Structure 1
Amino acid sequence: MSGFSNVKEVPQLNSRCRDADGFLGTVLYVGPVASAKKQTEVYVGVEWDDESRGKHDGSVISRETNQIVRHFKCESSSPNAGSFVKPSKLDFGVSFASTLGDRYVKPDAPLLAPNDKFEGCFARTKSGRGKQVEFFGERKIRERQQVGDITKVALRGEGVSHAGAQPEELKAQAGHLIEVDLQGNMLWEWEEVGKIINQLEGLEALHLNSNRLMNPVPLPPTLERAASTGGFTSLTRLVLNKTGIKGWEALAILGDVFPALSELYVAQNDLSDVDIVATSSGGRVGGFSKLKLLDISECGLTAWSQVKVFGAMEGLETLIVNGNEIQDTKEAEEGEFANLKSLQLSGTKIKDWGAVDNLNSFKELRGLRFNNCPVTSTMGASEARGIVIARVEKVEFLNASVVTTKERGDAEKIYVRRVAREVTMQAGGGGDGGGEEDLEKAEAVLRKHPRFKHLKEVHKASMVPLGDGGGTGSLGQDTINVTVQSMAAGSCTMEAIRKRVPSGLQVGRLKQMCKRAFKLDPDLQVLHFRADKGSLMAELGSGGEEDDELTLAYFGVTDGSMIFMNEVDLKAKERERVAEEKRKLEEEGRGKEQEEEMLRMDGIKKMQIDQERRAVGHAAK
């Protein structure tokens, strides 16, 4: 590590620094501090990445006036993200060239264990004697540590802050590298990034994630020269996750610098203005004409209009939108997202199934990630997966798992039964009570399930006719063979029962049958069924009393089906109840904390105003 040797060597504002414990921060002030004993002593004002390392917000109480003096302002809302540190206690980074040389052994460097033994290094044995430590294979290891023999290097967290070395020297040392990983270093100037890339002529992939980079607007000299001469044409993958980018303009300007990019990762940056920037430039996002993959996870997007602007990227095949607070999607317009094959929407705020239905308008979409969203929050993973498969016609990969033909068929059948049940209930259950109002409710249900009629027609030959669930007529008279197996702790070892029952048997009657066979009260039973070994598991109702009146045929139980009886986990339900109450209390607590913090900040502002007024009064006297 290299620190200050004297106060003349001052760091630049916005440069990065690191203390002896490895805490990283940004330099926001260099100079004397009003609260210091020695007013001539120079300090570095730092905003720490880890707020727990700090002590204040950049302001101090002056020793001379007893007034608040602000030397710098932290970007963080935390009142304790900043501190003042002596320059000699900080490290301001090392060069890429020197780090590369230190990390990878030079061919002529002396061996550490020339005779396969470390000189003067002993380990104490059980008998108390010293045994010399041996090191075999050092030469073979060194062969793999020669920079000239490798094409990919990883220098993560090494404190790299600048390129270093003379251009020709760096080019000779590392010009053949095709992939460089500089994650978690101390780079902050795009000029230094440009110098590194400029000497690595064959570089194809560069990882800069978790480096706090300054805004490249306007372009620094090295990048500007590159843009004016065709850009860095070999670089095809650029990772800029969590690099402090603020605004799409800061990325758009890089389009001419990196014209060959096919993969761009910019997760955990602030791109909330992307739709505004796109609108001002004719509805398009600048540059990146060859982009195939774009990761904009956790970028502060709150509306589909902010995602929509990327639909103009003709070559875009994969779009990652995870962790943004968008609540819906819109149907793709003509030519929009024309080649999009994979879309990731996990962790978004989508709360309506209509947003999933809209994905059918993305004609080439085959892969989808969709979980941890409000619309699926009350469902199990299997249930949610089945519904998504049924609703999105062409999806072949869901949450990184292949959707087989059989899985799709089963999911669509279960979905059809589920919707049919909902329609029947809204239409008055098929009895005499179904009036015009009930029929309108049923039509409203169908409008929420645009694929239902098509799927019902597709699978009608292989499904039991969907009746009214009342168990009357020929449907109620059909008999089927079913096997009922207990999965409850108290009876899971009991032999399964095989019964021939009417397909019109009500679920409530089946629960009574299970009670007699397995000694479990119907209120504690949860029933599922599977048409055959390869089929998906489906629930026999949601446990409500109205479900108990519906029939096996209504839920699609066919001849040869396997029915599983599970026991309600009362402890789990209690834990869920307690967790929900705890969550509500925490939300109330956070609200109170925020209110108290606002009151505290108001108090500080009032104190500052009073102090300023007094200072003005003294000056007037």
Structure 2
Amino acid sequence: MSGFSSNAKELPQMNSRCRDADGFLGTVLYVGPVASAKKQTEVYVGVEWDDESRGKHDGSVISRETNQIVRHFKCESNSPNAGSFVKPSKLDFGVSFAVTLGDRYVKPDAPLLAPNDKFEGCFARTKSGRGKQVEFFGEKKIRERQQVGDITKVALRGEGVSHAGAQPEELKAQAGHLTEVDLQGNMLWEWEEVGKIINQLEGLEALHLNSNRLMNPVPLPPTLEKAALTGGFTSLTRLVLNKTGIKGWEALATLGDVFPALSELYVAQNDLSDIDIVTATTGGRVEGFSKLKLLDVSECRLTAWSQVKVFGAMEGLETFIVNDNDIQESEEAEEGEFVNLKSLQLSGTKIKDWGAIDNLNSFKELRALRFNNCPVTSTMGASEARGIVIARVEKVEFLNASVVTTKERGDAEKIYVRRVAREVTMQAGGGGEGGGEGDPEKAKAVLRKHPRFEHLKEVHKASMVPLGEGGGTGNLGQDTINVTVQSMAAGSCTMEAIRKRVPSGLQVGRLKQMCKRAFKLDPDLQVLHFRADKGSLMAELGSGGEEDDELTLAYFGVTDGSMIFMNEVDLKAKERERIAEEKRKLEEEGRGKDQEEEMMRMEGIKKMQIDKERRAVGQAAEGK
């Protein structure tokens, strides 16, 4: 393992980091004798391991003397198996940044590993069984590029760095010119040591500290406090603190004066769940970090939009990453909120309603959006979900890192308009023959869920068949279109596509019968999609219901030259969906029953308490 060396003579500090010879990292939570040890005077280190599979217990043991449980420490993760006791000689407590840097980047006058372009005593066995010496060409050229003085960026990931260096100015003389340092996955735990590193690298612009378990910086340690009082570290503009054990916004906000010039701050996989409580005293707005342009709070245990909203006062914020938080909704941006926000990422959130996406139109400068793996799109294909998001968010130019072209937007908006119009028609009672009477109020409710519908219908009316009409002109020649139907079903996907000239008023149900004759697949098992041309989005020919079968090709926007694809219903997937839905309903019923039983139990307890109080009052009155 890289950089492992035991410091057996030194005992570690509480909360410091350690690692064993196999590379497992942990936190020191106890130093001293152990009640279950044979030698009661022998010192052990109580460790909570990052990987609980390395541990054996929760910090408690059975005493050899009393046979009782003795707890020496408690695992912060509350895991029953993350802890163990290890002899200090079996652990490494880290090395200095200065030493690691010197070891990684070889000095010019150091002995060559392959002085004659060959590794001495190093052979590889050939196919014939003979040994061939391993050669190494270009060592000198590689070494020339490994000089610290000639580079501005270094990466020392997982090297066991735990502190700056033994001498105050050791690092400054060696690497004071560095502009970017990556210390991901090391053993740093004190902010004081982080401050010492930054203090000696006067030109440092970017620092990566992700996956270092750092202590709470409140109160600020001496080096950081001094920096905050003297204007802070003004050269540092990018700071990566992902998965560093930050607990609470207060701890993070304390660093605002220390790093006043930050334009990029990454704090993913930390705990900022208290942010709305902390900011209640500041009018619901975060303070500090006034120059931030990018902020990443992915997987920070945020559960409500009110916790996102507090960042709205950051006037310079352009990119906001909120992925993998349990947020279920969004709100419209108020006056003065997120005024310069150009990019927003909401992937992996719990958003379950399209209204949350509609609200993003209030972010006037928003041009890029990441939105996938959310409940509202869970039952859709990627193409279908993408089209709906494009249609609902007016100004988005990049969706999930892909450019939204003018043609893609036009196609998406037309498909969206037809989809909404069909839903409105169904609710209003125009769903086809035998559709029955509709409910105008339900139709209005549908429109309220689609605030851009009327605008988009007006924008595209010239290029679309009038909604609610079959699209016929009365002229048979003008009312027929050429379509190609291709089977994508497993049993017939190798069959040649069929090309037909059909009426634009052909009902979807009739088309399914045509597919049945050509590809031998029952209409109930068919799922039809179409694409106007190769560059267009794929759109459904209905959602599979009987009412959709009565609608026409023109209604869905199938035009001359369109390609129609027949897929087969996945019966197993349908069954899984049905089972999952039944399970969900049972769970809801179970929760409701449990809640009802709990209420009855609480009412019973309350009644007993009231009766008890009444009896006590009665007894007191009799005593008088």
- Structure 2 length-normalised TM: 0.90
Check whether the contact 1:246–1:269 (CA below 8 A) recurs between aligned residues.
yes
1:435-477 per-residue CA deviation (whole Å, 9 max, x = no partner) reads 9971110000000000000000000000011115698989999
Check whether the contact 1:275–1:305 (CA below 8 A) recurs between aligned residues.
yes
Q: Which moved more, 1:520-529 or 1:179-188?
A: 520-529
- Cα 1:616–1:429 shift into 2, 3 Å: closer
Counterpart secondary structure, 1:533: coil
1:234 Cα offset (Å): 0.7
Check whether the contact 1:2–1:93 (CA below 8 A) recurs between aligned residues.
no
- Cα 1:613–1:56 shift into 2, 3 Å: farther
Check whether the contact 1:475–1:503 (CA below 8 A) recurs between aligned residues.
no
1:397-432 per-residue CA deviation (whole Å, 9 max, x = no partner) reads 000000000000000000000000000011112679
1:65 Cα offset (Å): 1.7
1:589 Cα offset (Å): 15
Q: What residue is the counterpart of 2:414 in the other structure?
A: 413
Check whether the contact 1:57–1:83 (CA below 8 A) recurs between aligned residues.
yes
Counterpart secondary structure, 1:475: coil
Check whether the contact 2:427–2:438 (CA below 8 A) recurs between aligned residues.
no
Check whether the contact 2:329–2:353 (CA below 8 A) recurs between aligned residues.
yes
Report the Cα distance in structure 2 between the residues aligned to 1:232 and 1:253, rounded to whole angstroms.
14
- Cα 1:77–1:432 shift into 2, 3 Å: same
Counterpart secondary structure, 1:436: coil
Check whether the contact 1:3–1:88 (CA below 8 A) recurs between aligned residues.
no
Q: Which moved more, 1:347-356 or 1:568-577?
A: 568-577
1:502-555 per-residue CA deviation (whole Å, 9 max, x = no partner) reads 222211111111112222221222111112222111110122222212221221
1:170 Cα offset (Å): 1.2
Check whether the contact 1:469–1:504 (CA below 8 A) recurs between aligned residues.
yes
Report the Cα distance in structure 2 between the residues aligned to 1:248 and 1:198, rounded to whole angstroms.
24
Check whether the contact 1:247–1:271 (CA below 8 A) recurs between aligned residues.
yes
- Cα 1:49–1:333 shift into 2, 3 Å: same
Gaps of at least 5 residues in structure 1 are: none
Counterpart secondary structure, 2:169: helix
1:544-589 per-residue CA deviation (whole Å, 9 max, x = no partner) reads 2222122212212123322122223445556767888999999999
1:247-295 per-residue CA deviation (whole Å, 9 max, x = no partner) reads 0011111111111100000000000111111111232212111100000
Q: Which moved more, 1:228-237 or 1:120-129?
A: 120-129
Check whether the contact 1:471–1:505 (CA below 8 A) recurs between aligned residues.
no
- Cα 1:334–1:596 shift into 2, 3 Å: closer
Report the Cα distance in structure 2 between the residues aligned to 1:402 and 1:155, rounded to whole angstroms.
36
Check whether the contact 2:14–2:29 (CA below 8 A) recurs between aligned residues.
yes
Counterpart secondary structure, 1:501: strand
Report the Cα distance in structure 2 between the residues aligned to 1:561 and 1:252, rounded to whole angstroms.
57
Check whether the contact 1:3–1:90 (CA below 8 A) recurs between aligned residues.
no
Report the Cα distance in structure 2 between the residues aligned to 1:334 and 1:205, rounded to whole angstroms.
33
- Cα 1:429–1:612 shift into 2, 3 Å: closer
- Cα 1:608–1:571 shift into 2, 3 Å: same
1:197 Cα offset (Å): 0.5
- Cα 1:173–1:607 shift into 2, 3 Å: farther
Gaps of at least 5 residues in structure 2 are: none
Report the Cα distance in structure 1 between the residues aligned to 2:335 and 2:558, rounded to whole angstroms.
42
- Cα 1:510–1:94 shift into 2, 3 Å: same
Check whether the contact 1:7–1:42 (CA below 8 A) recurs between aligned residues.
no
Q: Which moved more, 1:603-612 or 1:105-114?
A: 603-612
- Cα 1:148–1:274 shift into 2, 3 Å: same
Instruction: Determine if the alignment matches structure 1 residue 524 to structure 2 residue 522.
Output: no
1:347-383 per-residue CA deviation (whole Å, 9 max, x = no partner) reads 0000000000000000000000000000000000000
Report the Cα distance in structure 2 between the residues aligned to 1:498 and 1:354, rounded to whole angstroms.
41
Report the Cα distance in structure 2 between the residues aligned to 1:454 and 1:354, rounded to whole angstroms.
17
Check whether the contact 2:418–2:555 (CA below 8 A) recurs between aligned residues.
yes
Q: What percentage of residue pairs aligned between the two structures are identical?
A: 94
1:40 Cα offset (Å): 0.8
- Cα 1:31–1:503 shift into 2, 3 Å: same
Counterpart secondary structure, 1:480: strand
Q: Which moved more, 1:534-543 or 1:242-251?
A: 534-543
- Cα 1:272–1:204 shift into 2, 3 Å: same
1:25 Cα offset (Å): 0.5
1:136 Cα offset (Å): 1.1
Report the Cα distance in structure 1 between the residues aligned to 2:190 and 2:52, rounded to whole angstroms.
23
Counterpart secondary structure, 1:28: strand
Q: Which moved more, 1:594-603 or 1:389-398?
A: 594-603
Report the Cα distance in structure 1 between the residues aligned to 2:118 and 2:281, rounded to whole angstroms.
68
Report the Cα distance in structure 1 between the residues aligned to 2:609 and 2:155, rounded to whole angstroms.
49
Q: Which moved more, 1:100-109 or 1:479-488?
A: 479-488
- Cα 1:574–1:439 shift into 2, 3 Å: closer
Check whether the contact 1:476–1:505 (CA below 8 A) recurs between aligned residues.
no
Report the Cα distance in structure 2 between the residues aligned to 1:74 and 1:398, rounded to whole angstroms.
42
1:125 Cα offset (Å): 3.5
Report the Cα distance in structure 2 between the residues aligned to 1:47 and 1:127, rounded to whole angstroms.
51
- Cα 1:410–1:25 shift into 2, 3 Å: same
Check whether the contact 1:475–1:553 (CA below 8 A) recurs between aligned residues.
no
Check whether the contact 1:17–1:186 (CA below 8 A) recurs between aligned residues.
yes
Check whether the contact 1:174–1:200 (CA below 8 A) recurs between aligned residues.
yes
Counterpart secondary structure, 2:460: helix
- Cα 1:613–1:416 shift into 2, 3 Å: closer
1:299 Cα offset (Å): 0.1
- Cα 1:513–1:206 shift into 2, 3 Å: same
Q: What residue is the counterpart of 1:48 in the other structure?
A: 49
Report the Cα distance in structure 2 between the residues aligned to 1:49 and 1:609, rounded to whole angstroms.
51
Q: Which moved more, 1:485-494 or 1:87-96?
A: 485-494
1:229-250 per-residue CA deviation (whole Å, 9 max, x = no partner) reads 1111111100000000000011
Check whether the contact 2:465–2:471 (CA below 8 A) recurs between aligned residues.
no
- Cα 1:45–1:285 shift into 2, 3 Å: same
- Cα 1:614–1:218 shift into 2, 3 Å: farther
- Cα 1:449–1:582 shift into 2, 3 Å: closer
Check whether the contact 1:467–1:475 (CA below 8 A) recurs between aligned residues.
no
- Cα 1:539–1:436 shift into 2, 3 Å: closer
Check whether the contact 1:515–1:522 (CA below 8 A) recurs between aligned residues.
yes
- Cα 1:196–1:584 shift into 2, 3 Å: farther
Check whether the contact 2:429–2:438 (CA below 8 A) recurs between aligned residues.
no
1:41 Cα offset (Å): 0.9
Counterpart secondary structure, 2:438: helix
Check whether the contact 2:472–2:479 (CA below 8 A) recurs between aligned residues.
no
1:39-92 per-residue CA deviation (whole Å, 9 max, x = no partner) reads 111111111100111111111122222222111111112211111111111110
1:615 Cα offset (Å): 36
Counterpart secondary structure, 1:80: coil
1:13 Cα offset (Å): 0.3
Q: How does 1:448-463 map to 2 (within 5 A)?
A: 448-463=449-464
- Cα 1:3–1:495 shift into 2, 3 Å: closer
Question: Superposition RMSD on alpha carbons, in Å?
Answer: 6.5
Check whether the contact 2:487–2:495 (CA below 8 A) recurs between aligned residues.
yes
- Cα 1:104–1:589 shift into 2, 3 Å: farther
1:387 Cα offset (Å): 0.1
Q: Which moved more, 1:213-222 or 1:521-530?
A: 521-530
Instruction: Determine if the alignment matches structure 1 residue 240 to structure 2 residue 241.
Output: yes
Report the Cα distance in structure 2 between the residues aligned to 1:526 and 1:305, rounded to whole angstroms.
41
- Cα 1:527–1:350 shift into 2, 3 Å: same
Counterpart secondary structure, 1:476: coil
Check whether the contact 1:17–1:24 (CA below 8 A) recurs between aligned residues.
yes
Report the Cα distance in structure 1 between the residues aligned to 2:332 and 2:475, rounded to whole angstroms.
43
1:433 Cα offset (Å): 8.9
Check whether the contact 1:346–1:369 (CA below 8 A) recurs between aligned residues.
yes
Check whether the contact 1:476–1:504 (CA below 8 A) recurs between aligned residues.
no
1:474-500 per-residue CA deviation (whole Å, 9 max, x = no partner) reads 999933332222233443344433333
Check whether the contact 1:470–1:550 (CA below 8 A) recurs between aligned residues.
no
Counterpart secondary structure, 1:161: strand
